């Protein structure tokens, strides 16, 4: 998306609208990728790659990434991308784009990918001011290259430090947290935009872990490699009910040394992972990272004492957030 | 702190006074100061050695307590000189019953805690991160100055968990000592030996919340461990620090008579029978709203068990008007300090002794 179009919007409205839930185990909906919608007990994860897209902190060509995103969406939903965006998001939605920016430039959701998502939403009829790019704090967003934006007629971009947290405590299992009001009050729909990376404590950070950036007390939930906390956070109703799509930035993932940016352990994968099943996506991401670690003579994440078993927990009978069973995951390579 | 801008005294409650403030969310790097007690690790990681969690923290990340941050391989506290609460309380509110009774304590807290109790009374500040709560600027010297101005012979580090603001507590206690103001730490005792020893050089009394006497309770309801807390109590004893213990009794969770018997025996053997023990009443809150308040009979049973096992000063707290709020002479059993809530009605301790039988009464009077 062009910067001109990107950074102009109105003040964000705060109305909420009825949501549908998507993904594995969810109710059959027109928007659900065909395999699930047809009743087959498996999920689809698109792994879309374009050689030479970028490496390190070098910028990505926006047009190329826009095309890659469109191809991913079309593959996942087996429909024209514009149609999918229009069906996924209603013009009255306020769509929150949850990026992952804590690591700064190099290992944060790329601006160019977020621009491409904004462009797709604008094309689908969502007004600029009804798109909110957000993370925990302005400081984190700025460090990753985003500009804080709250002016009228602009796509909004700000941290929860601006919006605040709910006074209510949302609870599930071992988790009791206040949620970002961007999730509860501002947005009616969320697109999760994580980065594929190793995590020094919980093993892996992809889609599920990204929602630690939506709670007030993520520091309390890293014990036991994040299990069952990561899964429990994703069970909190506003997060679960509003998240409609996950698009993971795997352009230059990192297989060791995360979550901070350690360029020596990144590689040019030049890919996006796209799914409505966050657990399936995390499982695919886990497999990718393990393979890369093997290739580079690192121990497995289990061997390193940080197997991301929260992914298994997210798939268990209590959580049913998606499937982690590789036999039930269709990885669609584009 | 600038009094004109955010401090004024007003009547707050029966408990005493609170310092009302026009606090604000502090911007940028307010409160950031180098942390003590950590080791540098490869790849800009650090290991915090302040409390038993020993968090290993990557660059730009924070520890479990949320108030200490790794910035480029150097560890920082984010709350030095930034209290989120500042009140003047009776010392009895801490509770410390054997330490300067009837005096006021200038009480401060920053945000943050190194455990995660499901029954926390102050979760809005203890479980928050600095950027989520309004705080004020108040240097250690300023704290000491306010204590002097407000006729508080002590400063209490309280409400949240002072272990996590140890640098601020230590520096403030030193500034207070220079002005002849005492310092008391109201803590969960979840701290490593070295920092606790350092604190003992500047503190005058400590109150430890011993939350249970089982590992299960600590694991499930506190997200911590029992043993380090017991180790801290023993260390405080070795350091001759005046220490009182509070044990909040939660129905069905830590009220088993066998557990209370073991607890009492352990205190008598390891800390001595003069250690005051306060059994406190639980009221449903935070994430334990589903449980009932502690029956008074449970508190009375607990007190009897502790007395039967040799403890001399056993109190019942959070039950205003209960006779076990008072101090009785362990020798002649006469009433020595009569309390109602946090108020001292009468005090018959003279020169550390019972004024009736001259028995020595342990404490700092
Ligand atoms: S003081 Fe905080 S950072 Fe340090 S070990 Fe304890 S919880 Fe972790």
* pLDDT tens profile A32-84: 444 444 455 689 999 999 998 886 667 778 899 999 999 999 999 999 999 99
Question: Do B296 and B227 belong together in one domain?
Answer: yes
pLDDT above 50 for B254: yes
Are A269 and A250 a contacting pair, CB within 8 Å?
Answer: yes
A137 to B287: CB separation less than 8 angstroms, yes or no: no
Tell the burial category of A333 from Cβ atoms under 10 Å away from its Cβ (0-12, 13-18, 19+).
exposed
Flag whether B116 is in a domain. Answer: no
Token pair for B239: 């350091």
| Rounded Cα distance, A284 and A288, in Å | 6
Q: From the alpha carbon of B63, which atom of ligand 1 is closest?
A: 3
Q: From the alpha carbon of B37, which atom of ligand 1 is closest?
A: 4
- Range of the structural domain that residue A312 is part of: 3-333
Sheet containing B277-281, strands listed edge to edge, beginning at the edge strand earlier in sequence = B8-13, B16-20, B85-90, B104-109, B154-157, B182-187, B205-209, B242-249, B277-281, B314-317
End-to-end CA distance of chain A: 22
Q: What is the DSSP string of B14-58?
A: TTEEEEE---BPPPTTTT-EE-SSEEE-STT-EEE-SSTT--EE-
pLDDT above 70 for A156: yes
Mean pLDDT of B291-307: 98
Residue of A137, A200, A217 lying closest to B127 (CB–CB): A217
Q: What is the pLDDT of residue B124?
A: 94
Q: From the alpha carbon of B53, which atom of ligand 1 is closest?
A: 5
Mean pLDDT check: name the lowest of A51-55, B149-153, B160-164: A51-55
Flag whether B253 is in a domain. Answer: yes
Give the CB-side neighbour count of residue B20, counting CA atoms within 13 A: 6
Question: Do B261 and B305 belong together in one domain?
Answer: yes
Residue nearest (by alpha carbon) to ligand 1 atom 6: B51
Which residue does chain B place closest to A173, by CA atoms? B287
A165 touches chain B (CB under 8 A): yes
A219-274 pLDDT, tens digit per residue, is 999 999 999 999 999 999 999 999 999 999 999 999 999 999 999 999 999 999 99
Question: Do B331 and B292 belong together in one domain?
Answer: no
| Rounded Cα distance, B87 and B159, in Å | 10
Which of B261-288 are b and which e, b meaning 16 or more Cβ less than 10 Å from the residue's Cβ? bebbebbbeebebbbbbbbbbbeeebbb
Q: In the block, which residue shows the tokens 């101090």?
A: B327
Are A14 and A164 a contacting pair, CB within 8 Å?
Answer: no
B212-231 pLDDT, tens digit per residue, is 999 999 999 999 999 999 99
Cα separations (Å) of B308 from B23, B273, B332?
48, 11, 16
- Mean pLDDT value across chain B: 92
- Range of the structural domain that residue B339 is part of: 326-365
Question: Do B301 and B215 belong together in one domain?
Answer: yes
Which of A116, A146, A145, A152 lies closest to A133 in space, CA to CA?
A: A146
Mean pLDDT of B81-91: 97
| Rounded Cα distance, A104 and A143, in Å | 5
pLDDT above 60 for B93: yes
Answer whether B54 contacts ligand 1 (Cβ < 6 A). yes
Of A203 and A152, the structure prediction assigns the larger pLDDT to A203
Give me the residues paired with residue A188 across strands. none
pLDDT above 60 for B18: no
A262 to B62: CB separation less than 8 angstroms, yes or no: no
Flag whether B59 is in a domain. Answer: no
Domain holding B320: CATH number?
3.20.20.70
Domain holding A58: CATH number?
3.40.50.11440
Tell the burial category of B79 from Cβ atoms under 10 Å away from its Cβ (0-12, 13-18, 19+).
buried
Question: Do B214 and B320 belong together in one domain?
Answer: yes
Answer whether B78 contacts ligand 1 (Cβ < 6 A). no
Q: How far is A7 from chain B (nearest CA, A)?
A: 25
Q: How far is B64 from chain A (nearest CA, A)?
A: 5
Overall pTM > 0.90: no
Mean pLDDT of A284-308: 98
Flag whether B152 is in a domain. Answer: no
Q: What is the pLDDT of residue A10?
A: 27
Q: In the block, which residue shows the tokens 């180098």?
A: B34
Question: Do B307 and B231 belong together in one domain?
Answer: yes
Q: What is the pLDDT of residue A40?
A: 53
Number of structural domains in chain B: 2
Give me the residues paired with residue B114 across strands. none
Question: Do B225 and B280 belong together in one domain?
Answer: yes
Which residue does chain A place closest to B287, by CA atoms? A176
B287 to A201: CB separation less than 8 angstroms, yes or no: no
Mean pLDDT check: name the lowest of A15-24, B189-198, B314-323: A15-24
Question: Do B349 and B244 belong together in one domain?
Answer: no
Q: What is the pLDDT of residue A52?
A: 87
Question: Do B230 and B270 belong together in one domain?
Answer: yes
Flag whether B316 is in a domain. Answer: yes
- Give ipTM to 2 decimals: 0.86
Give me the residues paired with residue A273 across strands. A47, A248
Contacts of B45 in chain A (CB under 8 A): 200
Answer whether B79 contacts ligand 1 (Cβ < 6 A). no
Number of structural domains in chain A: 1
A169-193 pLDDT, tens digit per residue, is 999 999 999 999 999 999 999 999 9
Phi, psi of A18 (to 5 degrees): -60, 135
Please choose from B61, B62, B65 the residue to mutate so as to test ligand 1's pocket, defined by most ligand atoms within 8 A of CB.
B65
């Amino acid at each position: 998306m062009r910067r001109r179009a990107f950074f102009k919007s109105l003040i964000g409205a705060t109305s909420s609208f009825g949501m549908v839930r998507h993904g594995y185990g969810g109710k059959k909906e027109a928007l659900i990728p065909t395999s699930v919608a047809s009743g087959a007990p498996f999920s689809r994860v698109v792994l879309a790659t374009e050689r030479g897209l970028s490496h390190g902190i070098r910028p990505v060509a926006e047009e190329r990434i826009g095309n890659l995103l469109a191809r991913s969406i079309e593959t996942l939903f087996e429909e024209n991308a514009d149609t999918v965006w229009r069906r996924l998001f209603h013009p009255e939605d306020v769509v929150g784009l949850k990026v992952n920016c804590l690591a700064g430039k190099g290992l944060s959701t790329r601006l160019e990918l977020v621009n491409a998502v904004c462009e797709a939403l604008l094309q689908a009829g969502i007004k600029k001011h009804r798109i909110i790019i957000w993370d925990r704090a302005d400081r984190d967003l700025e460090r990753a290259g985003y500009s804080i934006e709250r002016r009228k007629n602009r796509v909004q971009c700000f941290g929860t430090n601006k919006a605040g947290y709910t006074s209510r405590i949302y609870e599930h299992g071992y988790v009791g947290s206040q949620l970002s009001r961007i999730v509860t009050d501002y947005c009616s729909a969320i697109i999760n935009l994580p980065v594929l990376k190793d995590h020094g404590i919980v093993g892996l950070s992809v889609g599920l872990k990204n929602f630690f950036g939506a709670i007030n007390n993520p520091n309390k939930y890293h014990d036991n490699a994040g299990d069952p906390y990561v899964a429990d956070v994703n069970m909190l109703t506003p997060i679960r009910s509003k998240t409609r799509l996950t698009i993971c930035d795997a352009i230059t993932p990192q297989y060791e040394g995360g979550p901070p940016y350690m360029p020596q352990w990144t590689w040019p994968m030049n890919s996006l992972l796209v799914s409505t099943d966050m657990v399936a996506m995390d499982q695919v991401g886990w497999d990718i990272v393990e393979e890369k670690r093997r290739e580079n003579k690192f121990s497995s994440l289990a061997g390193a004492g940080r197997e991301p078993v929260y992914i298994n927990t997210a798939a268990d009978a209590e959580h049913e957030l998606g499937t982690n069973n590789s036999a039930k995951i269709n990885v669609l390579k584009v | 702190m600038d009094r004109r801008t955010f401090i004024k005294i007003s009547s707050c409650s029966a408990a005493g006074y609170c310092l009302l403030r026009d606090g604000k969310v502090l911007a940028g790097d307010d409160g950031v100061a180098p942390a003590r007690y950590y080791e540098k690790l490869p790849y800009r990681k650090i290991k915090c050695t302040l409390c038993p969690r020993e968090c290993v923290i990557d660059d730009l990340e924070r520890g479990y307590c949320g108030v200490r941050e790794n910035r480029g391989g150097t560890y920082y506290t984010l709350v030095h000189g930034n209290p989120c609460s500042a009140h003047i309380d009776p010392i009895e509110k801490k509770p410390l019953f054997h330490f300067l009774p009837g005096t006021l304590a200038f009480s401060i807290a920053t945000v943050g805690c190194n455990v995660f109790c499901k029954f926390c009374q102050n979760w809005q500040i203890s479980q928050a991160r600095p950027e989520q709560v309004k705080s004020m600027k108040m240097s250690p010297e300023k704290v000491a100055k306010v204590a002097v101005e407000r006729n508080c012979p002590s400063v209490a580090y309280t409400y949240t968990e002072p272990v996590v603001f140890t640098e601020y507590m230590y520096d403030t206690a030193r500034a207070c000592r220079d002005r002849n103001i005492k310092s008391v730490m109201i803590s969960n005792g979840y701290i490593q030996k070295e920092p606790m020893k350092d604190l003992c050089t500047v503190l005058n009394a400590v109150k430890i919340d011993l939350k249970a006497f089982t590992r299960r309770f600590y694991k499930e309801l506190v997200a911590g461990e029992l043993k380090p807390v017991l180790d801290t109590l023993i260390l405080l004893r070795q350091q001759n620090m005046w220490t009182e213990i509070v044990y909040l009794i939660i129905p069905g969770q830590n009220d088993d008579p066998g557990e209370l018997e073991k607890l009492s025996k352990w205190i008598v053997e390891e800390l001595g029978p003069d250690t005051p023990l306060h059994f406190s009443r639980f009221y449903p809150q935070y994430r334990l709203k589903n449980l009932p308040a502690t029956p008074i009979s449970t508190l009375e049973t607990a007190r009897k068990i502790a007395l039967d096992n040799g403890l001399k000063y056993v109190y019942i707290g959070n039950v205003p008007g209960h006779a076990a709020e008072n101090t009785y002479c362990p020798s002649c059993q006469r009433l020595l300090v009569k309390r109602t809530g946090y108020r001292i009605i009468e005090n018959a301790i003279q020169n550390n002794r019972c004024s009736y039988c001259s028995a020595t009464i342990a404490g700092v009077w």
